[in-house]
Amino acid sequence: MATGRTHRPATRSRGIPEATVARLPLYLRALTALSERSVPTVSSEELAAAAGVNSAKLRKDFSYLGSYGTRGVGYDVEYLVYQISRELGLTQDWPVVIVGIGNLGAALANYGGFASRGFRVAALIDADPSMAGKPVAGIPVQHTDELEKIIQDDGVSIGVIATPAGAAQQVCDRLVAAGVTSILNFAPTVLNVPEGVDVRKVDLSIELQILAFHEQRKAGEEAVADAGVVPPAARKQQPSTDQGPDGDVPAVMPA
Protein backbone atom coordinates (compact mmCIF):
# COMPACT_ATOMS: atom_id res chain seq x y z
CA MET A 1 0.00 0.00 0.00
CA ALA A 2 1.21 3.33 -0.86
CA THR A 3 -1.54 5.17 0.67
CA GLY A 4 -3.25 6.07 3.75
CA ARG A 5 -6.07 8.37 4.34
CA THR A 6 -7.22 10.61 7.06
CA HIS A 7 -9.64 8.64 9.03
CA ARG A 8 -13.10 9.24 7.91
CA PRO A 9 -15.61 7.83 10.33
CA ALA A 10 -17.26 5.94 7.56
CA THR A 11 -20.25 6.72 9.63
CA ARG A 12 -22.88 7.53 7.11
CA SER A 13 -21.13 5.46 4.46
CA ARG A 14 -24.37 4.92 2.67
CA GLY A 15 -23.45 1.64 1.20
CA ILE A 16 -20.15 0.92 -0.45
CA PRO A 17 -17.35 -0.13 1.91
CA GLU A 18 -14.11 1.74 1.67
CA ALA A 19 -12.18 -1.38 0.79
CA THR A 20 -14.48 -1.97 -2.13
CA VAL A 21 -14.15 1.58 -3.40
CA ALA A 22 -10.40 1.15 -3.41
CA ARG A 23 -10.74 -1.87 -5.67
CA LEU A 24 -13.20 -0.42 -8.14
CA PRO A 25 -10.49 1.40 -10.11
CA LEU A 26 -8.68 -1.90 -10.36
CA TYR A 27 -11.69 -3.62 -11.85
CA LEU A 28 -12.26 -0.69 -14.11
CA ARG A 29 -8.79 -0.92 -15.53
CA ALA A 30 -9.14 -4.63 -16.22
CA LEU A 31 -12.56 -4.11 -17.77
CA THR A 32 -11.30 -1.32 -19.97
CA ALA A 33 -8.64 -3.62 -21.31
CA LEU A 34 -11.25 -6.24 -22.06
CA SER A 35 -13.44 -3.65 -23.68
CA GLU A 36 -10.62 -2.66 -25.99
CA ARG A 37 -10.32 -6.24 -27.05
CA SER A 38 -14.05 -6.25 -27.72
CA VAL A 39 -14.71 -8.98 -25.20
CA PRO A 40 -18.47 -8.89 -24.59
CA THR A 41 -18.80 -10.64 -21.26
CA VAL A 42 -16.55 -11.84 -18.50
CA SER A 43 -17.00 -14.15 -15.54
CA SER A 44 -16.12 -13.17 -12.01
CA GLU A 45 -13.39 -15.73 -12.09
CA GLU A 46 -11.71 -14.33 -15.18
CA LEU A 47 -12.07 -10.73 -14.16
CA ALA A 48 -10.80 -11.47 -10.69
CA ALA A 49 -7.70 -13.05 -12.15
CA ALA A 50 -7.10 -10.04 -14.39
CA ALA A 51 -7.49 -7.67 -11.48
CA GLY A 52 -5.43 -9.78 -9.15
CA VAL A 53 -8.09 -10.46 -6.55
CA ASN A 54 -10.23 -13.24 -5.22
CA SER A 55 -13.37 -13.97 -7.24
CA ALA A 56 -15.65 -14.14 -4.22
CA LYS A 57 -14.44 -10.74 -3.15
CA LEU A 58 -15.08 -9.35 -6.59
CA ARG A 59 -18.62 -10.67 -6.65
CA LYS A 60 -19.32 -9.22 -3.25
CA ASP A 61 -17.85 -5.92 -4.32
CA PHE A 62 -20.13 -5.81 -7.32
CA SER A 63 -23.08 -6.79 -5.23
CA TYR A 64 -22.74 -3.47 -3.42
CA LEU A 65 -23.30 -1.71 -6.72
CA GLY A 66 -26.29 -3.80 -7.62
CA SER A 67 -26.92 -6.99 -9.52
CA TYR A 68 -25.25 -6.40 -12.80
CA GLY A 69 -24.34 -9.95 -13.68
CA THR A 70 -26.16 -12.76 -15.39
CA ARG A 71 -25.96 -16.17 -13.76
CA GLY A 72 -24.47 -18.76 -15.96
CA VAL A 73 -22.91 -16.12 -18.16
CA GLY A 74 -21.06 -13.46 -16.26
CA TYR A 75 -20.93 -9.70 -16.51
CA ASP A 76 -21.48 -7.51 -19.52
CA VAL A 77 -18.19 -5.69 -19.94
CA GLU A 78 -19.46 -2.44 -21.40
CA TYR A 79 -22.27 -2.13 -18.95
CA LEU A 80 -20.01 -2.77 -16.02
CA VAL A 81 -17.48 -0.23 -17.27
CA TYR A 82 -20.23 2.32 -17.33
CA GLN A 83 -21.63 1.44 -13.91
CA ILE A 84 -18.27 1.55 -12.21
CA SER A 85 -17.28 4.76 -13.95
CA ARG A 86 -20.48 6.34 -12.84
CA GLU A 87 -20.13 5.09 -9.28
CA LEU A 88 -16.62 6.48 -9.09
CA GLY A 89 -17.76 9.77 -10.53
CA LEU A 90 -15.59 9.44 -13.61
CA THR A 91 -18.35 10.46 -15.96
CA GLN A 92 -17.74 13.93 -14.68
CA ASP A 93 -14.91 16.23 -15.53
CA TRP A 94 -12.55 16.71 -12.61
CA PRO A 95 -10.19 19.64 -12.93
CA VAL A 96 -7.06 19.11 -10.88
CA VAL A 97 -4.30 21.46 -9.82
CA ILE A 98 -0.78 20.23 -9.25
CA VAL A 99 1.27 22.30 -6.86
CA GLY A 100 5.04 21.95 -6.86
CA ILE A 101 6.51 21.37 -10.30
CA GLY A 102 9.76 19.69 -9.47
CA ASN A 103 10.74 16.32 -10.84
CA LEU A 104 7.73 14.64 -9.38
CA GLY A 105 5.27 17.36 -10.27
CA ALA A 106 6.48 17.29 -13.85
CA ALA A 107 6.15 13.53 -13.94
CA LEU A 108 2.59 13.82 -12.69
CA ALA A 109 1.77 16.48 -15.26
CA ASN A 110 2.98 14.16 -17.97
CA TYR A 111 1.23 11.13 -16.56
CA GLY A 112 -1.23 9.82 -19.08
CA GLY A 113 -3.38 8.04 -16.56
CA PHE A 114 -4.93 11.29 -15.48
CA ALA A 115 -6.54 12.48 -18.65
CA SER A 116 -7.64 9.00 -19.59
CA ARG A 117 -9.87 8.78 -16.56
CA GLY A 118 -11.73 12.03 -16.61
CA PHE A 119 -9.13 14.06 -14.77
CA ARG A 120 -7.94 17.22 -16.36
CA VAL A 121 -4.90 19.16 -15.29
CA ALA A 122 -6.35 22.61 -14.82
CA ALA A 123 -3.11 24.21 -13.73
CA LEU A 124 0.48 23.65 -12.71
CA ILE A 125 1.63 25.83 -9.87
CA ASP A 126 5.05 26.51 -8.46
CA ALA A 127 6.46 28.95 -5.97
CA ASP A 128 9.56 29.63 -8.01
CA PRO A 129 8.99 32.79 -10.07
CA SER A 130 11.51 31.67 -12.64
CA MET A 131 9.31 28.71 -13.46
CA ALA A 132 6.36 30.91 -14.34
CA GLY A 133 5.33 30.63 -17.95
CA LYS A 134 7.61 27.73 -18.61
CA PRO A 135 5.58 24.98 -20.24
CA VAL A 136 5.51 21.54 -18.67
CA ALA A 137 3.56 18.85 -20.45
CA GLY A 138 2.25 21.57 -22.67
CA ILE A 139 0.83 23.58 -19.83
CA PRO A 140 2.46 26.82 -18.68
CA VAL A 141 3.46 26.83 -15.03
CA GLN A 142 1.81 29.55 -12.98
CA HIS A 143 2.96 31.24 -9.84
CA THR A 144 1.57 30.44 -6.44
CA ASP A 145 -0.06 33.82 -6.28
CA GLU A 146 -2.58 32.65 -8.83
CA LEU A 147 -3.61 29.67 -6.75
CA GLU A 148 -6.83 30.97 -5.28
CA LYS A 149 -8.00 32.55 -8.48
CA ILE A 150 -7.46 29.38 -10.51
CA ILE A 151 -9.24 27.19 -8.02
CA GLN A 152 -12.24 29.42 -7.89
CA ASP A 153 -12.44 30.16 -11.58
CA ASP A 154 -12.12 26.58 -12.66
CA GLY A 155 -14.09 25.10 -9.83
CA VAL A 156 -11.23 22.87 -8.80
CA SER A 157 -12.03 20.52 -5.96
CA ILE A 158 -9.05 18.18 -6.17
CA GLY A 159 -5.48 19.26 -5.50
CA VAL A 160 -2.20 17.40 -5.78
CA ILE A 161 0.67 18.45 -3.54
CA ALA A 162 4.13 17.63 -4.86
CA THR A 163 6.08 20.26 -2.97
CA PRO A 164 8.89 19.73 -0.48
CA ALA A 165 7.67 18.68 2.96
CA GLY A 166 8.24 22.09 4.42
CA ALA A 167 5.80 23.81 2.13
CA ALA A 168 3.10 21.16 2.12
CA GLN A 169 0.99 22.27 5.07
CA GLN A 170 0.95 25.83 3.94
CA VAL A 171 -0.06 24.89 0.43
CA CYS A 172 -2.66 22.57 1.85
CA ASP A 173 -4.17 25.35 3.95
CA ARG A 174 -4.42 27.59 0.95
CA LEU A 175 -5.97 24.89 -1.19
CA VAL A 176 -8.57 24.16 1.43
CA ALA A 177 -9.32 27.80 2.04
CA ALA A 178 -9.84 28.29 -1.66
CA GLY A 179 -12.33 25.47 -1.88
CA VAL A 180 -10.43 22.25 -2.51
CA THR A 181 -11.93 19.34 -0.62
CA SER A 182 -9.79 16.43 -1.78
CA ILE A 183 -6.03 16.32 -1.65
CA LEU A 184 -3.49 13.85 -2.92
CA ASN A 185 -0.30 14.40 -0.97
CA PHE A 186 3.12 13.32 -2.14
CA ALA A 187 5.04 15.34 0.42
CA PRO A 188 6.34 13.30 3.34
CA THR A 189 4.33 15.09 5.99
CA VAL A 190 1.15 14.61 7.93
CA LEU A 191 -1.34 17.18 6.72
CA ASN A 192 -3.82 18.79 9.04
CA VAL A 193 -7.14 19.45 7.41
CA PRO A 194 -10.58 20.42 8.65
CA GLU A 195 -13.33 17.86 8.70
CA GLY A 196 -14.91 17.26 5.36
CA VAL A 197 -11.63 17.34 3.49
CA ASP A 198 -10.19 14.06 2.27
CA VAL A 199 -6.48 13.49 2.14
CA ARG A 200 -4.75 10.54 0.59
CA LYS A 201 -1.02 10.23 0.77
CA VAL A 202 1.58 8.53 -1.33
CA ASP A 203 5.00 8.16 0.20
CA LEU A 204 7.64 6.42 -1.84
CA SER A 205 10.03 6.16 1.03
CA ILE A 206 7.46 4.43 3.20
CA GLU A 207 6.74 1.87 0.54
CA LEU A 208 10.38 1.01 0.25
CA GLN A 209 10.73 0.72 3.97
CA ILE A 210 7.88 -1.76 4.11
CA LEU A 211 9.55 -3.78 1.39
CA ALA A 212 12.81 -3.66 3.28
CA PHE A 213 11.11 -5.05 6.36
CA HIS A 214 9.82 -8.06 4.50
CA GLU A 215 13.06 -8.45 2.65
CA GLN A 216 14.97 -8.52 5.89
CA ARG A 217 12.62 -11.09 7.29
CA LYS A 218 12.98 -13.26 4.24
CA ALA A 219 16.74 -13.08 4.48
CA GLY A 220 16.87 -13.74 8.18
CA GLU A 221 14.45 -16.57 7.96
CA GLU A 222 16.67 -18.91 6.07
CA ALA A 223 19.70 -18.08 8.05
CA VAL A 224 17.81 -19.34 11.04
CA ALA A 225 16.97 -22.67 9.48
CA ASP A 226 13.32 -22.16 9.01
CA ALA A 227 11.34 -25.08 7.75
CA GLY A 228 9.02 -22.47 6.46
CA VAL A 229 5.94 -22.49 4.37
CA VAL A 230 7.70 -21.37 1.26
CA PRO A 231 10.89 -22.55 -0.28
CA PRO A 232 12.01 -19.02 -0.97
CA ALA A 233 14.29 -20.19 -3.67
CA ALA A 234 17.88 -19.27 -4.09
CA ARG A 235 18.39 -16.02 -2.39
CA LYS A 236 21.26 -14.10 -3.69
CA GLN A 237 21.63 -11.41 -1.13
CA GLN A 238 25.17 -11.07 -0.18
CA PRO A 239 26.01 -11.42 3.46
CA SER A 240 24.57 -8.48 5.22
CA THR A 241 27.79 -7.55 6.87
CA ASP A 242 26.32 -4.37 8.04
CA GLN A 243 26.37 -2.41 11.16
CA GLY A 244 24.22 -3.06 14.11
CA PRO A 245 26.03 -2.96 17.39
CA ASP A 246 24.26 -5.93 18.69
CA GLY A 247 22.88 -6.50 15.28
CA ASP A 248 20.43 -9.26 15.24
CA VAL A 249 17.22 -9.97 13.56
CA PRO A 250 14.98 -11.01 16.41
CA ALA A 251 12.73 -8.43 17.91
CA VAL A 252 13.78 -9.32 21.38
CA MET A 253 14.91 -6.80 23.84
CA PRO A 254 17.60 -5.70 26.14
CA ALA A 255 16.88 -3.57 29.15
For its own copies, the closer of residues 16 and 129 by Cβ is: 16
> Dihedral of the CA atoms 127, 128, 133, 136 (nearest 10)?
-80
Which residues contact DNA by CB under 7 A? 7, 10, 17-20, 43-45, 53-57, 59-60, 62-63, 67-75
Binds 150, which of its own copies, DNA, none (CB < 5 to 8 A, cut-off by type)?
A: none
Confirm whether residue 196 is marked as ligand binding: no
Confirm whether residue 110 is marked as ligand binding: no
Rounded Cα gap, residues 249 and 247, in angstroms: 7
Binds 233, which of DNA, its own copies, none (CB < 5 to 8 A, cut-off by type)?
A: its own copies
Rounded Cα gap, residues 84 and 75, in angstroms: 12
Selected from 102, 133, 135, 140, the binder of its own copies by CB under 8 A is: 102
Selected from 68, 132, 143, 173, the binder of its own copies by CB under 8 A is: 68
Decide: 93 and 110 in contact? Cβ < 8 Å. no
Q: Is 9 helix (H, G, I), strand (E, B) or coil?
A: coil
Q: What minimum distance in Å lies between the beta carbon of 87 and its own copies?
A: 6
Residues near 210 by Cβ (< 8 Å), separated by ≥ 6?
A: 1
Rounded Cα gap, residues 255 and 247, in angstroms: 15
Rounded Cα gap, residues 68 and 86, in angstroms: 14
Footprint on residues 161-220 left by its own copies (CB under 8 A): 176, 179, 181-184, 188, 190, 194-196, 198, 200-219
For DNA, the closer of residues 23 and 117 by Cβ is: 23
Q: What minimum distance in Å lies between the beta carbon of 16 and DNA?
A: 9
Q: What minimum distance in Å lies between the beta carbon of 209 and its own copies?
A: 4
Q: What minimum distance in Å lies between the beta carbon of 163 and its own copies?
A: 13
* CA angle in degrees (0–180, nearest 5) for 156-158-135: 75
Confirm whether residue 105 is marked as ligand binding: yes
For DNA, the closer of residues 74 and 95 by Cβ is: 74
CA 8 vs CA 82, 89, 102, 202, 225: distances in Å: 27, 19, 31, 17, 44
- Residue 36 dihedral angles phi and psi, to the nearest 5°: -65, -25
Footprint on residues 213-242 left by its own copies (CB under 8 A): 213-219, 226, 228-238, 240, 242
Q: What minimum distance in Å lies between the beta carbon of 255 and DNA?
A: 9
Binds 252, which of DNA, its own copies, none (CB < 5 to 8 A, cut-off by type)?
A: its own copies
